[in-house]
Amino acid sequence: MSQEAIDQFLAWLQADKDRLLLVGGLPLDELAAYAAAHGFVFTVEELKARQALVHLVEGT
Amino acid sequence: MLQSLASLDGHTLILLCLSLGIALAFEFVNGFHDTANAVATVIYTKALRAGTAVVLSGLCNFLGVLLGGIAVAYSIVHLLPVDLLVSVNSNLGLAMVFSLLVSAILWNFGTWYLGLPASSSHTLIGAILGVGLANAVREGLPAGAGVNWHKAVEVGLSLFISPIIGFVLAGGLLLALQRLLKNPALHRPPQGDAPPPPAMRAALILSGLGVSLAHGSNDGQKGVGLIMLILIGILPGVYSLDADLPSRETAAVRQAAARFTDYFDAHRLEIDKAYAKGTIRELPEKSSAVNCDVHGAVAASEAIQHQLALYESIAAIPAGERWELRTDILCLDDAARIMQGLSGNAAERSEIEQLRQTLRRPTEYAPSWVIMAVSLALGVGTMVGWKRIVVTIGEKIGKTKLSYAQGASAQIVAMATIGLADGLGLPVSTTHVLSSGVAGAMAAHKSGLQMRTLRSIAMAWVFTLPAAMLLGAGFFFLFTAWL
């Protein structure tokens, strides 16, 4: 599911500020594992690709 | 080269290694600064796996520097006025080189560390303009004499227009693709783990690699230009002229100088009139730089012919005399540039341009080891950059989407625009071209105008350019007082 799973995971995080704070400092592999444990399956590379796209769109 | 290194004293050797290290670090930082842009589309669309995309992008950056030529490199170098370029083997020249390097790397690395939008092209060009202007202030010259404004306007226009071209053409290409390609899957963001349809996948991969190739060519040459300034400044006897220039081309340089002697002799009256009218201005006498003016053109031209008549090739010229020949070539070229601007005849201007290119040939070159070192720094920097991407979980990351067709449109246009700039010898901001291409494709798809892209591009002009100019000027004053 990858990118859709990232969307769903972000929506799930944003629904609860405590969850968002909890993952704020996690290394990427732990973040992906945390997401997988809650049913959102994506890889670290897919998450980085989404961040790279943000850089591309923002021109940074 | 090793022989010349052995003849250096310890202090100069340290200076050389330090400055080469900083210049290569600038390229390395440039590589990892831009990785995300180069590979974002192909990885996000699953056209390629991340590891494969990053390695291929690094290789294409490497090849881009190797195959890109040196026209952009010398476009950057010639932002500085010829008076400063011919004094580059002095302490003033060393202060110039170090100011450029330190300001460029500090700003590039600092903005990356702080997550601020920046453009390495604006940084480097700002630092060069700052150093040129600071030198004019230091010499008591008018600000207009501190920078080669003709070149600065050319480079400024290139930086300004290229994102607009990217925006308009990528939007236009997307609209064309929407009419031609009716498969709705091509106009949606990627879904699931499936790769794009085969033809679109090929287009995404090839254009993505093309962007990396063009990036390597344009951005790599900025580093090549910097390194040539360093080498000419620290080892003028070895690097001030291309010792490998074939005898045939050396003879062509001599012939070009002879043609200029005839030209300046034939236009003596017009030159005197231009001085009298103020069209050509006399510059005040300077303390540290060589005086290059139109009055001295014939003497410089005759000196070039005399030197090249004595020796069959550049390699045969003793190291101590090469610097004078380089100075004469640059002074004559600058005088010819002024005359080219005065000429009202297009055919004559074109002929002068061709003669100038021939004349400058021994001074505009880069040894293969320099190109190889920059290629490696940029290539490795690109590969490392992917590992250094820091994910910031937040609202923005959740809203960003890109369809296959939008990604391909932006990449194809960016590849063509940067490639065209390479061909014209003009520097562009690869990040700005690619991002404005994405913005154009999004606007055409009615996904809205990306204000964040506009803000980043505006920041480079109103923030990075002045900041780099101030840093360049500040370090120049500091280093001239210190060296």
Q: What is the mean pLDDT of residues B227-246?
A: 87
- pLDDT tens readout for residues B155-164: 999 999 999 9
Predicted confidence at residue B257, as pLDDT, reads 94
Give the total number of structural domains in chain A: 1
Return the residue of A nearest to B163 by Cα: A59
Strands (E) located in B240-328 = none
> Which has the higher per-residue pLDDT, B398 or B42?
B42
The two three-digit tokens of residue B102, written as one number = 């330190």
Contacts of A11 in chain B (CB under 8 A): 398
Facing A59 at nearest CB: one of B191, B193, B435: B435
Across residues B432-453, what is the average pLDDT?
83
Domain assignments of chain B as residue spans, ordered by start? 1-188+195-235+367-482, 243-363
Please tell me the distance from the alpha carbon of residue B152 to that of residue B272, in angstroms, as a whole number.
28
Is the pLDDT at B266 greater than 80? The verdict is: yes
Kindly indicate the confidence band of residue B287, based on its pLDDT and cuts at 50, 70 and 90.
very low
Average pLDDT across chain B, whole number: 86
Helix/strand/coil (H/E/C) assignment for every residue in chain A: CCHHHHHHHHHHHHCCHHHHHHHCCCCHHHHHHHHHHCCCCCCHHHHHHHHHHHHHHHCC
Residue at token pair 């081309």: B249
Indicate the residue of A11, A24, A49 with minimum beta-carbon distance to B44: A49
Q: Lowest mean pLDDT: which of A22-26, B334-338, B372-376, B426-430?
A: A22-26
Q: What is the signed CA dihedral for B406, B408, B411, B415, rounded to 10 degrees?
A: -140
H-assigned helices in B235-267: 236-239, 247-266
Looking at per-residue pLDDT, the higher value among B476 and B84 belongs to B476
Residue A38 C-alpha, separation from nearest chain B C-alpha, in angstroms: 17
The separation between CA A27 and the C-alpha centre of its own chain, rounded to angstroms, equals 11
Contact B178, B187 (CB under 8 A): yes
Task: Look at B37 and A48 and tell me if their CB atoms are within 8 Å.
Answer: no
Query: Is the per-residue pLDDT at B289 higher than 50?
Result: no
Q: Pick from B222, B124, B131: which is nearest to B425 by CA?
A: B222
Q: How far is B439 from B443, CA to CA, in rounded Å? A: 6
Answer whether B391 sits within 8 Å of A4, measured CB to CB.
no
For residue B311, what are its two tokens?
């020796």
A47 near B CB under 8 A: yes
* Residue B318: pLDDT over 70: yes
- Residue B258's Cβ-side half-sphere holds a number of Cα atoms within 13 Å equal to 11
**B342 touches B274 (CB < 8 A):** yes
A20 contact B CB<8A: yes
With tokens 């045939």, the residue in question is B248
**More confidently predicted of B5 and B460:** B460
Average confidence (pLDDT) over B375-400: 81
User: How many angstroms separate the CA atoms of B401 and B330, rounded?
Assistant: 51
CB contact (8 A) between residue A11 and residue B431 = no
For residue B380, CA distances in Å to B44, B58, B59, B350 come to 22, 6, 9, 41
CB of B137 closer than 8 Å to CB of B146: yes
**Is B36 within 8 Å of A56 when comparing Cβ atoms?**
yes
pLDDT of B280 above 50: yes
Give residue B408's Cα distance to chain centre. 26
Q: What is the pLDDT of residues A5-60, one digit of tens each?
A: 888 898 898 888 888 888 877 888 899 999 999 999 998 988 888 888 888 887 77
pLDDT score of B89? 59
Q: Which of B27-36, B102-111, B164-173 has the highest mean pLDDT?
A: B164-173
User: What does the alpha-carbon distance between residue B435 and residue A57 come to, in Å, rounded to a whole number?
Assistant: 6
Position B114 scores a pLDDT of 76
pLDDT digits (tens, 9 = 90+) for B139-198: 777 767 778 888 889 999 999 999 999 999 999 999 999 999 888 888 888 887 788 999
Q: Is the dihedral of CA A3, A8, A14, A16 positive or negative?
A: negative
**Residue found by looking up tokens 């790279």 in the block:** A52
Residue B38 has pLDDT above 90, yes or no: no
More confident residue, B283 or B370: B370
Give pLDDT, residue B288.
41
What amino acid is encoded at B331 in this protein? C
List helix spans (H) across B388-464: 395-399, 404-424, 430-444, 451-459
State residue B4's pLDDT score: 66
CA atoms of B243 and B246, how far apart (whole Å): 9
pLDDT of residue B140: 79
pLDDT of residue B254: 95
- Residues spanned by the domain of A52: 1-58
Across B328-334, average pLDDT: 90
Which of B130 and B12 is assigned the larger pLDDT? B130
> How confident is the model at residue B160, as a pLDDT?
92
- The residue behind tokens 């940084």 is B123
Q: Percent of chain B having pLDDT more than 90?
A: 42
What's the CA gap between B333 and B22, in Å, rounded?
A: 31
B386 inside 8 A of chain A by CB: yes
**Residue B448 Cα distances to A4, B231, B444, B452, B453, angstroms:** 21, 48, 8, 11, 12
Subunit contact B397:A55, Cβ cutoff 8 A: no
Q: Over 80: is that where the pLDDT of B219 sits?
A: yes
Indicate whether B395 pLDDT > 50.
Answer: yes
